[in-house]
Amino acid sequence: MPQYVIEREIAGAGDLTGEDLKGISQKSCGILKDMGTGIEWVQSYVTGDKVYCVYNADNEQLIKDHASTGGFPANSISEVKNIISPKTAE
């Protein structure tokens, strides 16, 4: 299953409370459950005004459908082609 990185521009994302993030996460998970197989949320990174999400999905359209249903921005969707880390240098 391909992996994607989604960039979401959300003003003040870094100021969201733990309770805010919990609610957003619950909404996202509920939509994913309704969508069935073919898409899964791996994790997200919250910065000042952006959230970067990592998803596994059969195709990009599933990610767009998830974002549209949830009212989440998906300003950029990029398929991961390779993953590197310090271990890559060994």
pTM listed for this prediction: 0.92
Q: Return per-residue pLDDT of the chain as tens, 90 residues.
A: 999 999 999 999 999 999 999 999 999 999 999 999 999 999 999 999 999 999 999 999 999 999 999 999 999 999 999 999 999 999
* Superfamily classification of domain 3-81: ORF SCO4226, nickel-binding ferredoxin-like monomer (3.30.70.3090)
Residue 84 has a pLDDT of 97
Burial code (b: 16+ CB inside 10 Å, e: under 16) for 36-60 equals eeebebeebebeeebbebebbbeeb
Instruction: Give me the residue spans of the domains in the chain.
Output: 3-81
- Residue 39 token pair: 């898409």
